[in-house]
Amino acid sequence: EFSADKLSASKGGDLGLIVAGDMDPDFEEIALGLVEGEVSEPVKTEFGYHIIKVTELTPGVVKPYEEVKKIVELGFKKVEAENIFYELGETLAEISFENPDTLEVAAESIGVAIHQTENFTRAQGNTDISAEESVREKAFSEDVLAGNNSEVIELGSDRIVVLRVLNHSPSKARELSEVSGLIESRLKGDSAKQQTLELAKELKALVQSGESLELLAKEKGFSFVVADDLGRNNGDLPWEINRAIFVGAKPKSDQPTTMVVALESGEQAVVNLLSVTEGALAKANKKEFGIARTNITKLLSEGDFDAVLSDLQADAVVNLSEQL
C-alpha cells in the first residue's frame, strides 16, 4: 500500500514467482534464504529498501537426463567450440605478429584459407569484409600501410580476421574530364532546388496577401491536397509537413498560417494551416499524466536535495580533536 513501486503496490506488494537470476543479487540472497511465511529485516539494494515476505515456495524439479540430454550435448558442444575458437584466435594473433610480412604462416598454422578483397576506399567498402568499418579503419592505419599485418579484428562474437594490404593507391584529385559530368549534374540539381524554393516563397507571399492557394496550384499545374482533422501521429502526409504544422504558429481567427516546408525528396510544399483544435486527455491518460508529473516532481526534488548536500559536503570543514 505504501510502496514506492507503484506496480507491486497495487497488488499488495506481490512480486509473483521469482527464480534465481530474476532479481537484484542482494534481494535474492535474502529472499531465497527465507522459509515460507518468514519476514526479512529491511534489505537495501540499488533500488531502495525492501521488506520481503515469502508467501509460497515452489521446489525446483529435476528433469530426467533423457529429457535434457540434447540440451546438455548442445551446451557442451557450444562450450567446446568457444574454447577452440579462443585458442585458434590466440594462435592467429601470436603467429601473425611474429611474421608481420605474410599471412601464409598464420593461415597454415590454424588451417584456414587466405581471401583477397577487391579494392576499396576508406569511406566505402564492398560486399566482403571491407563493408565493415573496423576493417577499413585498420586497413588504412599507419602500421598496416607500412606493410605489416593488422592486429586481430573482431567482427562479432564468432568472427575474427587479420589483414594485410597488397597494394595501396594514395588519394588524388581526379581530372576535370572525369568529374565534369558529375559537377554539371550537381549544379543543375542545386539550381533547380533553388528555383523551386523561390517559387514556393512567391506562392506563400501571394497566399498571405489573400489569394487562394487552390487556384494558384491549379494555375501552376501543382497538386493541391486538403487534409482535415489531422492527428500528431498522422501518416497520410509526409512527415516533414506533419511536423511543421504541429510546431508552427497557431492561425488567427481571420488569418491562416502559411509556411514553406522542404521535403526529403527535394521538393517544396506550401502549407496553409487554417485552424487548430486543442487535444483533450482521456480519463486514463489524465491519471497517467498525474502520476508521471508526481514522479518527475519527486525526482527533481531529490536532485535538488542531492545538489545541496554535495555543496555542503564540498564546503564542510572537519576538525579532529587530538584528545580521546
| Residue 266: per-residue pLDDT | 84
| Residue 321: per-residue pLDDT | 47
pLDDT digits (tens, 9 = 90+) for 13-56: 676 776 666 777 888 778 777 778 888 888 888 777 877 787 77
| Residue 270: per-residue pLDDT | 94
pLDDT digits (tens, 9 = 90+) for 62-101: 778 787 788 888 888 888 888 899 999 999 999 999 999 9
Query: Which residue carries 529498501 as its cell?
Result: 49
Predicted TM-score (pTM) of this structure: 0.39
Report residue 278's pLDDT band, with 50, 70 and 90 as the boundaries. confident
Provide CB contacts within 8 A for 250, sequence distance 6+: 257, 276
Cell readout for 84 is 577452440
297 or 156, which is more confident? Answer: 156
For helices 176-208 and 213-220, give the axis angle rounded to 10 degrees. 140
pLDDT digits (tens, 9 = 90+) for 137-166: 999 999 999 999 999 999 988 899 999 999
Listed residue (170, 86, 161, 159) closest to 122, CA to CA: 170
Provide CB contacts within 8 A for 41, sequence distance 6+: 51
Q: How many whole angstroms separate alpha carbon 295 and alpha carbon 298? A: 5
